[in-house]
Structures are given as structure tokens and as C-alpha cells.
Amino acid sequence: MAYRRFSSLRARLLAVASLVMLMFTAVTVGVLDNAFERAAQNSVREQLSAQLYALLTAAELDLAGAIYFPERLAEPRFSVAASGLYAFVYDVDGTLVWRSASALTAAAPRAATLPVGTNSFALESDARQTPLFVLRFGVAWEADGGVEAFTFVVAEDLARYHAQVGAFRRNLYFWGVLGIAFLLALQLSILHWAMRPLRAVAREIGKVEAGRQRLIEGVYPSEIAGLTRNINRLIDSSQQALDRYRNSLGDLAHSLKTPLAVLRGLCDEDTGADAVKITLREQTRRMGDIVDHQLKRASSSGGASGGWSVVREVVDRLVSTLRKVYADRGLSFTVDVAADIRVPMDSADLMEILGNVMDNACKWGRERVEVRAETETGQIVIQVIDDGPGVGPDRVREVLRRGVRADEQMAGQGIGLAVVRDVLESYHGSVDIDSAPSGGARVLLRIPSPSGVDG
């Protein structure tokens, strides 16, 4: 339940920040309140000191050595009963010798005499347990009979102090609550602003899911830029896997076309049963090999497999098959490939690329298809030449793209040359198309070879 309550990152940040802010505010309020209380008590002491010095100024001794004061003192509250401000004078024995008119009905603080020239300030309670701020000061007068010592006492109840502290606390709490509310609102605004990149990422991911865009395209802060990069890599990887399986299905279908064409040709030929069996066995085996090979390529991410293949053997098998497929065309095949030329390529891959290229040559050639192979430094170059209309230089790159055909009127899916390019690239090879001397197309297949000739 707690996890669900704080499953939102924004709620977690808000909760933690609010808790920290409340703790800081509570500590600040406590410190300010304590500081104000001390300041208020110091203010009371200073005021009582001023009242006490005023009393000292007004005090006189009579001839008998008794202390007396004028009827009207400088501080009016000393003359008003129960005003909250009281004055007392004690002799050296602690006997109360004078009290102000305001203290006539009040209980006097405890008797305490002080040495001359010393003072004390304390919060005390009188005999009625009424709390008072009490300031004492020890003084001495020179009289005819000698020196008279007295302790002057000024006391004040806590009514004014409490009123002052209460007013301060009300203001402190009011502005504290108002400040917390303001900071919470500011914090919400900051969180809303800080979470904007995450909301933007969520919207972009939604668009990717809906198919409105392919990747996360926005520019984001460094804290989440790594996340968006990783998400884009994951999307790319998933898309590449999907494309690879789609392409493998297309390649499989395309690779099965030639064997199926051979089988269809059997239906139209007057061939003996033994020849039909041989052809069926050969083509069904080839179809099985094609299916196994395409499944292996799909599961291995299209990577190159090991092994060496003899080019002449693959070419001869393809010529035999294509003669049957295009028997009605009367095409002539010329093979100029040495028997010892081998390439570092799986035989099924070599069969696939040569089969696609030679099949295209048969489609477009008028009378002749030629296959050559030669060695160059670090590579084997295989040429497939036809005497058809050829491919213009401006269309070479286009026809190598998947789904593009040189002639939209010609039957096919436009993936044969794309398959050739993909397979060769998995072996770090390449495919080029230019014009043959006869005017047709010449397809050059370049396959890297460590030794250049033999494996």
C-alpha cells in the first residue's frame, strides 16, 4: 500500500521536500521564539533597571536615618494599586521599610539583602505564587549616625511580557504558515517545471507506440539523456530484428521461386518418370536447404557463417537449373570460372547471391548469359553479364534497394539484388552494376578472400 501511495516520483520528491521544509521551519520557529523570549526578558530587566535608578534618585533619608520618597514618583504605575509594577526597600536586616502605593495590596517578594553595589535579576514567585520579574540592588547612604545599607527591589508581573511574547508568536506563526504555504506552492511549481522533460519523454514514447514517430527525438537534460539514448537503441534493435525477420521471409519466398519454377516446368514437359524423380528429389532437397539456411540466417542476425565454397560447382548447378526454367527462351550460357577458385562463404549463401544475379540475367538477357570469376589482390571478383537492355548509371543505387524493380512491368518483388547486397555485406563484400561491352548489364560481386585464391 505504501509503495502504491508513493509510486509517483513527483509525490516522493514532494513528500521528502515537504518533510525537510517542515522540520526546518519547526526548528527555525523554535530558535526565533527562544531568542525573542530572551530578548524580551532582557528588555524587562533594562526597564526595571531604569525604574530602580529613578527610585534611587528620588529616595531621601530623614534625620532619624529612615528612608522616604516623594508622594508622586516619576513612574505613575508605582502610584496605582495593583498596576503590576511594584517597588520595595529592605534594610540591612531584611526588614521591609518601604513599599510603593501599587504594592499596598500585593504580596512582597521574598526578603533578600544584597551587598552594596551588587544586583540580581530573576523570575520569582511571591507569597501568593504569582510569578514576578524581580530586580534587586544593594545601596548605602551616609547618615549622621554612620552608613545605612538598603536593598532596593523593583518587581513586575508577567502580564506585559506575556502580551508582548504572545503578539510576537501570533505574528511568527501566521507568517510561518503563510511562508510554508508559499514555499509549498513554489515547490509544486518547481517540481512541475523539473518534471517536464520526463512528461515529454512519456509523450514521445506514446507517439512511438502509436507509430507517429520512429524514435525519441527531443533534446533532454543530461540526467535523462542517457535513458533516452538507451530507449532509442532498444527501439532500433527491436526494429532491426523485426526488419530482419521480415526480410528473411521475403528472402525465403524469393529463394524458393527458382525451385518452384523448375517443378512447374515438369508439368509442361514430356519427361520420363526417372528424370522426374531425379528432378523432384534435387529441387525438394534444395528447397529444404533454402528453408534451413534462411532460418539460420534469421536466428543468427544475418551474420556470415564459416566454410569455403567452390564457385564453379555452384555456377554449374545454377546453370543446370536455369536451363530448365528458361528452356523456352533458348538462352546460351558461357561459364569462364576456374575449377580451383574458392570463396570463404557458406555454399548456401553463394548459391543465393549467384542464383539471384543469374536469374535476373536470364530474365533480361536476349540470347546470352555469361559468368566469369577471377582473383584480384585480397578478393574474388565474380561477373555475371547479359545482353539485355542494361541498367542506367542513375538507377544502379535504386535497384539495389529492397522492393525496387528495374522495370515495374516485369514480374517480381524487387528484393533479389537487395538480398545479394545484404548477404555480401555480411561477408564485408560488395555488389556493383555497370554496362557490359555487349550493351547489357554487368553485375560485379566482390568477395574478400584472405589468400585471394584458395582457402
SS (H, E, C) 79-132: HCCCCCEEEEEEECCCCEEEECHHHCCCCCCCCCCCCCCCEEEEEEECCCCCEE
> Higher-confidence residue: 53 or 252?
53
213 lies in the same domain as 344: no
- Which distant-in-sequence residues (6+ apart) come within 8 Å of 212 by Cβ? none
- Indicate whether 178 belongs to any domain: no
| CB of 448 closer than 8 Å to CB of 343 | no
- 90 part of a folded domain: yes
Considering its fold, how many domains does the chain have in total?
A: 3
- The reply to whether 186 falls in a domain is no
Q: Is residue 17 part of a domain?
A: yes
- Terminal-to-terminal C-alpha distance of the chain: 67
The rounded distance, in Å, linking the Cα atoms of 120 and 60 is 23
Are 387 and 438 in contact, with CB atoms under 8 Å apart? yes
Pick from 246, 231, 166, 174: nearest CA to 200? 231
270 plus 406 within the same structural domain: yes
Q: Note whether 238 and 297 are same-domain residues.
A: no
Question: In whole numbers, what is the pLDDT of the chain averaged over residues?
Answer: 82
pLDDT tens-digit series, residues 2-33? 445 556 777 888 888 888 888 988 899 999 99
Residue 406 within any structural domain of the chain: yes
Are residues 317 and 429 located together in one domain of the fold? Answer: yes
Question: Which pTM does this prediction carry?
Answer: 0.49
Burial class, 447, CB count within 10 angstroms (exposed 0-12 / middle 13-18 / buried 19+) = buried
Per-residue model confidence (pLDDT) at position 136: 94
Question: Domain check: are 209 and 297 in the same one?
Answer: no
239 and 386 share a domain? no
Q: Are residues 205 and 335 in the same domain?
A: no
Domain extent, residue 299, equals 256-448
* Same domain as 432, residue 372: yes
CATH number at residue 294: 3.30.565.10
CB 354, CB 315: distance < 8 Å: yes
pLDDT of 154 higher than 50: yes
Residues 6+ apart with CB under 8 A from 29: 172, 173, 176
Q: Is the pLDDT of residue 195 over 60?
A: yes
Name every residue whose Cβ is closer than 8 Å to that of residue 345 and which is 6 or more positions away in sequence: 304, 307, 308, 309, 427, 447
Q: Same structural domain for residues 236 and 357?
A: no
> Is residue 191 assigned to a domain?
no
